[in-house]
């Protein structure tokens, strides 16, 4: 049987999605749960590799097992075997050629900021960026519109040796380069939070966090929001702003 899972998880206790020796990861924890239930050793494939501290509202994973088990039974057994920081929302049998990563067409992320000098509750702190700056929502939105469309996002990609591996987490119908298409890029206010929502064909390592860090630079009057096209054209990570903390980032949806 080939299975598709939709997962939600709190990324705080994990060193990201991808399995790592002697470190707690979402992929490794899920693999252990599957082995506990079925006796089979599999490595579930995710739609993308969320980093340490990044959360998911609807991560997708696929894997195959030989043991026969009804979907409702597998669903219940997984949630019993997994820690409470990971919940399986749905279990679905899918064709063998369906792949969580390769079959993905679009992904949506959200980034959440608690701006200004507000006291950040310890219950909220793992899930937001408690940014001490007062931020202008109109400027955030003005900056965000500049990344709509198809661009080379080299200026917003992590400048590290693991970047090529991170690129591999994106749909394989995209070339292995830094060109991506952004379909939606907008900020809104919800109670005390400023929330950025972005939908794209795929995302580079740290891309959303680097976009947010740069938008905050604009909204706190360090750069003009109209500098975003120049930053994009530079194709150089040093042209953009700092990387926003992992805690505020959520994988919201994967479309197929």
Catalytic (active site) residue 51: yes
Distance from C-alpha of 107 to C-alpha of 104, rounded to nearest angstrom: 8
Alpha-carbon distances, residue 107 vs 91, 171, 199 (angstroms): 20, 10, 6
DSSP string covering the chain, please? -EEEEEEEE--TTSS-SS-BTTB--HHHHHHHHHHHHHS----PEESS-PPTT-EEEEEEEEEE-SS---HHHHHHHHHHHS-TTEEEEEEEE--TT--TTTT--EEEEEEEEEETTPPPPTTTGGGSEEE-S---HHHHHHHHHTT-EEEE-GGGS--STTHHHHHTTS-TTS-SSSEEEEEEEEEEEETTEEEEEEEES---TTHHHHHHHHHHHHHTTSS-GGGHHHHHHHT-GGGS-PPPPGGGEEEEEEE-
Distance from C-alpha of 34 to C-alpha of 78, rounded to nearest angstrom: 7
Q: Which of 51, 117, 152, 192 is catalytic?
A: 51
Terminal alpha carbon distance of the chain: 20
Q: Which of the residues are catalytic?
A: 51
């Amino acid at each position: 049987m080939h299975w598709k899972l939709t997962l939600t998880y709190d990324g705080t206790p994990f060193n990201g999605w991808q399995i790592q020796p002697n470190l707690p990861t979402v992929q490794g924890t899920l693999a252990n749960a599957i082995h506990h239930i079925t006796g089979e050793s599999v490595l579930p494939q995710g739609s993308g590799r969320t980093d340490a501290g990044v959360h998911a509202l609807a991560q997708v994973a696929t894997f195959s097992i030989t043991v026969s088990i009804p979907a409702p039974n597998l669903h219940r057994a997984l949630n019993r075997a997994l820690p409470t920081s990971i919940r399986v929302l749905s279990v679905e049998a899918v064709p063998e050629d369906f792949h969580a990563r390769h079959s993905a067409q679009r992904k949506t992320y959200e980034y959440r900021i608690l701006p200004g000098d507000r006291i950040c509750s310890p219950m909220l702190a793992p899930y937001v960026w408690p940014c001490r700056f007062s931020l202008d929502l109109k400027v955030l939105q003005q900056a965000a519109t500049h990344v709509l469309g198809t661009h080379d996002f080299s200026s917003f990609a992590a400048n590290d040796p693991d970047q090529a591996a991170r690129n591999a987490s994106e749909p394989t119908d995209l070339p292995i380069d830094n060109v991506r298409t952004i379909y939606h890029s907008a900020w809104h206010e919800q109670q005390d939070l400023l929330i950025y929502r972005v939908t794209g064909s795929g995302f580079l390592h740290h891309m959303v966090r680097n976009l947010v860090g740069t938008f905050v630079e604009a909204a706190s009057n360090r750069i003009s929001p109209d500098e975003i096209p120049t930053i994009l054209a530079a194709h150089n990570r040093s042209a953009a702003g700092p990387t926003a903390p992992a805690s505020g980032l959520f994988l919201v949806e994967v479309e197929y």
